[in-house]
Each structure stands twice: as structure tokens, then as C-alpha cells.
Amino acid sequence: MRVAIVTGGSRGIGRATAARLGRDGFAVVVGYAGSADAAAEVVREVEAAGGEAVAAQADVAEEQQVSALFDTAQERFGGVDVVVHAAGRMHLAPVAELSLDELDALHRTNIRGTFVVAQQAARRVRDGGAVITFSTSVVGLSLPTYGAYAASKGAVEALTMILARELRGRDITVNAVAPGPTATDLFLEGKSPELVERMAKQPPLERLGEPADIAEVVAFLAGPARWVNGQVVRANGGIV
């Protein structure tokens, strides 16, 4: 049995990914920060489809909590084959106006959190496994107000590429998925309907991505995509 840890697994893209990997036959550890009820719903969804899952709380920036998350996978299912690090934080503001407290909080989750999860993954993912992080297509689009968020995700991309090379010889793939505008609470919060509609028209496919669209890419990287390694996959409907 292959085993996946999904951080941020109680909502949005993480939730869709946990459910999809469960349908693909993975036993899933649903990592969550605060919403135990939402995480329990994901576990029930996986189990209803015939899979196995367990919810486990962890602040991704705290080493001991993340280590305990991996311990849960080991104790319940025998090990870890795939790590999907979907937990993240976003705060939008022009560079000139951004609170440095918000900057620190954002970078704590997105940079330190990714490093802590990547560190445990490098130590504990079984040979033949996969590590999947999350960036954003805004790194390439350079949209105003996304400066701090995009900077944090640029760090994620750099870490991901280096980890792929550090795991040489273990048959472990390491890739980042960089979604474009996707209909999640994280994306929709604070945006007017007019702005959402305008952003939905950006890709040639003329719609927002859905969490299931991104989960499809993650499932590919977690399963059959053994020759895709050290890449950033921009899943954004064709925005350039």
C-alpha cells in the first residue's frame, strides 16, 4: 500500500488532492492546521470511496509537529511514499503598504513551512516516492499586490529544484505545481465579483481552475510521472 501525506488537506486544493489520492488507492494522512471538522469530512470522503485515511493536526512551520505528522503515517500505514505540501498562506497588498507582521506570518508558513516539510520528506519518504510542493503562476505573471506572496513562492520553487538534485540516487521525484486562478476560498477571499470574472477570462479556456483540475496534476506527479523531476508545472489554463 502506498501512503500519502497531504498538508493543508482540509480545504481547497489540498482537500481535492487528498480525496483524489484516496480514490487512486493511497492511504492518506490528511494534515490540517485548525479545522478538525473539515479534516474529518475529508477522511470520511476517502473512506466512503473505499480508501483509508486519518486526520492529523500540525503547524507546518513547527518541526516537532511535522515530525509527528510523519510518525502518524508510519504508525498507521507503515511509512510514507508521497508528500503533497499544499498548506499555504496568502496576503495581498502593494509593497509600499504591506505590514511587516503580515510579511513575517506569510513567510513563516510558505517558506519555513515548506522547508520543514521538505526536510522531513527528504529524511523519511521511501525510495521510489514523490514530493510535491506548491508555487503559484503569479511568480511568472508579476501581478501587482502579489509581491510578498510571489516572493515566498519563488523561494518554494528554488527549494524544490535543489531538493530534487539532493535526492539523487533514491528514485524520488520532486516537483512543484504552480496553479493559476483557482476557485478556492483562499483565492476568492476579498475579491469583488467583477475582479473574479476578469481573472477568469485571462486563460484561453476562459474560466477559473477548479481544485479538481489541480488535484489531477498532483495525482499525475504522485503516480505515473516518474520521468518528470525537478520541474515547476504551471497548471493555469494557458495564462502567459
For the stretch 148-177, pLDDT in tens is: 999 999 999 999 999 999 999 999 999 999
DSSP run (H or E) holding 23: helix 12-23
Whole-prediction pTM value? 0.94
- Residue 102 forms part of a structural domain: yes
- Residue 31 forms part of a structural domain: yes
Percent of the chain residues past pLDDT 70, beyond the cut: 100
- Structural domain of 224: 3-233
- Residue 86 forms part of a structural domain: yes
- Residue 137 forms part of a structural domain: yes
56's torsion region: left (phi>0), alpha (psi -120 to 50) or beta? Answer: beta
Residue-wise pLDDT for 49-83, tens only, equals 999 999 999 999 999 999 999 999 999 999 999 99
Strand, coil or helix: what is 120?
helix
Confidence at residue 61, expressed as pLDDT on a 0 to 100 scale: 98
Maximal CA-CA distance, the chain: 51
Distance CA 191, CA 193 (A): 7
Q: What is the CATH number of the domain that holds 14?
A: 3.40.50.720
- Residue 239 forms part of a structural domain: no
DSSP run (H or E) holding 31: strand 27-32
- Residue 240 forms part of a structural domain: no
- Residue 238 forms part of a structural domain: no
The residues carrying an active-site annotation are: 149
Provide the number of structural domains found in the chain. 1
Residue-wise pLDDT for 186-221, tens only, equals 777 778 888 888 888 889 998 998 999 999 999 999
How many secondary structure helices (H) and strands (E) does the chain include?
10, 7
On the CB side of 226, CA atoms within 13 Å amount to: 6
Of the two residues 99 and 183, the one the predictor is more confident about is 99
Distance CA 16, CA 13 (A): 5
Q: Which of 119, 118, 114, 117 is nearest to 135 (CA)?
A: 114
**pLDDT interval class at 231 (50, 70, 90):** very high
